[in-house]
């Protein structure tokens, strides 16, 4: 497909502007995506008692529920949930915007409050959760990414095969950055297209598509919409206290009887202690791709009120199972999640090289103030995020296990390191060197974490999760450090030297 010059220029402008405007936000979402895929394992690794946690699937839930009733006063809370996973049994209660998380300790047999939320924090960062309404901002950025990808494919469709393998690192910055952008973009195109679309739907549909759909077809009746979708309508609490606590273990057994073969991975109590309280058991059925299943039971008498059986699900329910299953990598085990992680970090390289192409093509001398600002933001934001994440992992191993507000301090260190790193390109002119040194420092911190843990707590690297995290951190340290060293070794181009001279003259005047 060959466009007329005017049409090609329109596509190029849309591609460039949509990319550069959303680039920094998209960089955060894709950089945090691999950590989000493994956030449960990271929570176990990061918690001081995590390596001693029970695997959890066979743990009795009723004593743990009663412990939360006595000590956390969960009666009246919106929800209490238990998650028996390979990485350890976790639990939480939620009330409006408030939440508290717990982990089962094999040493005490009790639920202990999580003393680190490293994995959960990076998971939230994936959809910009730490900022107000961040999920909607992430959704808008995903729409911009979808627009960028579509226009990019249309522009380069005729040269797609040739550009698939063309990478010339010995050429000038404008050439090699363009090659890198296209090669990684083509290899990761199916992944990026799906995540742009699914990310936009997940982040924005709850505030846009679903209310419109509900108003147009069901007159705003949420119950009618849920019935048409084959989903269970929520039951409003009465405010009246139930006479007895539900027996969770017995109800899980009843749920497994209602759906033979069900392997529970999430057990939730809705409207805890209310007469209308419901128990929801989520899990997987074997032999079915994305075989997500649910059983809802009345807490008062254990009666099954609704089931989601993937064996006889509607077309819409199966579509949603595949849609969410692909987005959250609910298939293929660790191999698929590692592949997703590599594709996500490759997308980060596509994003950074896209900004570099913008700068090299539109203003190689960085004569315009806006482009100088973009260059500094790209360096400090992107390299700074890598350094801040390394600092988060490193400080997790330095802080005392019993320190109050430990999780808050970890997030504070993350934010301060990122802020300081983002300021560095504004203080030094050699932006490439700034990025290089920040990446080398990040690599050193990532590499020191398993070394420090091995020297200070040799017995700590005993579980499969701890060994896996240590190995990934070492590989990440080597990769990040290598990129930083390459940036330092690369001599500045004539345009970059001229840009520095122009800047110096401007500052002198």
Four-residue CA torsion sign, 485, 490, 491, 492: negative
pTM of the predicted model as reported, rounded to 2 decimal places:
0.86
**Residue 79 falls in which region: left (phi positive, over 0), alpha (psi -120 to 50) or beta:** beta
Of 286, 313, 340, the one marking the end of a domain is 313
Q: How far apart are CA 492 and CA 498, in angstroms?
A: 10
The pLDDT tens digits of the residues spanning 281-311 come to: 999 998 888 888 999 999 999 999 989 899 8
Residues 136 and 94 in one domain: no
Q: Contact 306/223 with Cβ under 8 angstroms?
A: no
Q: Euclidean distance between the first and final Cα of the chain, in Å?
A: 50
- pLDDT class for 94, splitting at 50, 70, 90? very high
Residues 352 and 286 in one domain: no
For 143, 164, 175, the CA distances from 156, given in Å and listed in that order, are 20, 10, 16
- pLDDT class for 155, splitting at 50, 70, 90? confident
User: What backbone torsions phi and psi does residue 328 show, to the nearest 5 degrees?
Assistant: -95, 10
Residues 243 and 374 in one domain: no
Residues in a beta bridge with 91: 82, 102
DSSP assignments along 373-407, one per residue? HHHHHHHHHHHHHHHHHHHHHHHHHHS-TT-TTHH
Please give the residue range of the domain that contains residue 95: 49-114+231-313
- Higher-pLDDT residue of 476 and 213 is 476
Residues 84 and 22 in one domain: no
Residues 32 and 162 in one domain: yes
Element (H, E) at 292: strand 292-298
Q: How far apart are CA 309 and CA 292, in angstroms?
A: 8
Picking from 412, 350, 416, the residue whose alpha carbon sits closest to that of residue 387 is 416
In a domain, 221, yes or no: no
Directed axis angle between helix 431-456 and helix 369-398, to 10°? Answer: 10
Q: Contact 307/258 with Cβ under 8 angstroms?
A: yes
Residues 18 and 109 in one domain: no
In a domain, 220, yes or no: no
Picking from 30, 46, 49, the residue whose alpha carbon sits closest to that of residue 393 is 46
Residues in a beta bridge with 111: 104
The mean-pLDDT minimum among 164-168, 230-234, 395-399 falls in 164-168
Domain count, the chain: 2
Residues 388 and 494 in one domain: yes
Residues 262 and 160 in one domain: no
Q: How far apart are CA 24 and CA 483, in angstroms?
A: 19
The pLDDT tens digits of the residues spanning 312-369 come to: 888 888 898 999 999 999 888 889 999 999 999 999 989 988 888 888 878 887 888 8
- pLDDT class for 55, splitting at 50, 70, 90? very low
Residues 143 and 20 in one domain: yes
Alpha helices in 399-493, H assignment, sequence order: 406-427, 431-456, 464-489
Average pLDDT of every residue of the chain: 85
Four-residue CA torsion sign, 417, 418, 423, 427: positive
In a domain, 408, yes or no: yes
Residues 276 and 149 in one domain: no
Residues 262 and 402 in one domain: no
Which whole number is the average pLDDT over 408-428? 95
The residue behind tokens 């990076």 is: 122
Residue 1 has pLDDT above 90, yes or no: no
């Amino acid at each position: 497909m060959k466009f007329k010059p005017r049409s090609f220029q329109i596509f190029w402008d849309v591609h460039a502007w949509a990319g550069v405007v959303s680039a920094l936000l998209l960089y955060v979402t894709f950089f945090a995506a691999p950590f989000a895929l493994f956030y449960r394992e990271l929570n176990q690794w990061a918690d001081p008692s995590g390596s001693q946690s029970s695997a959890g699937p066979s743990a009795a839930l009723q004593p743990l529920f009663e412990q939360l009733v006595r000590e956390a006063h969960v009666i009246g809370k919106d929800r209490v949930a238990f998650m028996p996973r390979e990485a350890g049994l976790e639990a939480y209660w939620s009330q409006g915007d408030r939440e508290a998380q717990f982990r089962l300790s094999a040493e005490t047999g009790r639920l202990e409050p999580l003393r680190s939320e490293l994995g959960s924090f990076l998971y939230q960062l994936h959809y910009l959760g730490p900022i107000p309404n961040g999920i909607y901002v992430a959704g808008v950025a995903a729409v911009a990414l979808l627009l960028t990808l579509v226009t990019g494919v249309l522009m380069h469709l005729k040269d797609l095969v040739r550009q698939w393998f063309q990478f010339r690192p010995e050429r000038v910055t404008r050439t090699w950055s363009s090659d890198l952008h296209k090669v990684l973009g083509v290899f990761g195109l199916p992944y990026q297209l799906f995540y742009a679309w699914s990310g936009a739907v997940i982040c924005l549909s709850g505030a846009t598509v679903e209310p419109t759909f509900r108003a147009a077809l069901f007159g705003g009746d949420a119950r009618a919409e849920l019935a048409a979708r084959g989903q269970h309508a929520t039951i409003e609490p009465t405010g009246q206290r139930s006479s007895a606590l539900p027996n969770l273990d017995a109800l899980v057994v009843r749920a497994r009887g209602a759906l033979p073969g069900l392997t529970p991975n999430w057990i939730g109590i809705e409207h805890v202690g209310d007469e209308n309280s419901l128990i929801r058991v989520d899990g997987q059925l074997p032999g079915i791709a994305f075989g997500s299943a649910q059983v809802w039971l009345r807490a008062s008498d254990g009666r099954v009120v609704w089931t989601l059986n993937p064996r006889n699900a509607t077309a819409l329910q199966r579509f949603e199972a595949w849609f969410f299953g692909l987005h959250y990598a609910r298939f293929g085990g660790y191999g698929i999640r590692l592949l997703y992680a590599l594709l996500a970090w490759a997308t980060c390289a596509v994003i950074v090289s896209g900004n570099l192409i913008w700068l090299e093509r539109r203003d190689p001398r960085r004569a315009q103030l806006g482009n100088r600002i973009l260059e500094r933001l790209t360096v400090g934001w992107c390299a700074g995020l890598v350094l801040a994440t390394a600092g988060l992992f490193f400080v997790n191993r330095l802080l005392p296990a019993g320190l109050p507000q430990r999780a808050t301090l970890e997030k504070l260190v993350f934010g301060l390191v990122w802020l300081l790193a983002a300021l560095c390109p504004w203080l030094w002119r050699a932006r490439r060197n700034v990025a290089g040194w920040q990446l080398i420092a990040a690599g050193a911190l990532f590499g020191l974490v398993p070394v420090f843990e091995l020297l200070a707590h040799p017995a700590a690297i005993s579980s499969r999760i701890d060994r896996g995290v240590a190995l990934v951190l070492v590989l990440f340290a080597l990769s990040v450090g290598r990129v930083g060293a390459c940036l330092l070794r690369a001599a500045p181009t004539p345009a970059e030297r001229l840009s520095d001279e122009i800047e110096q003259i401007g500052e002198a005047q």
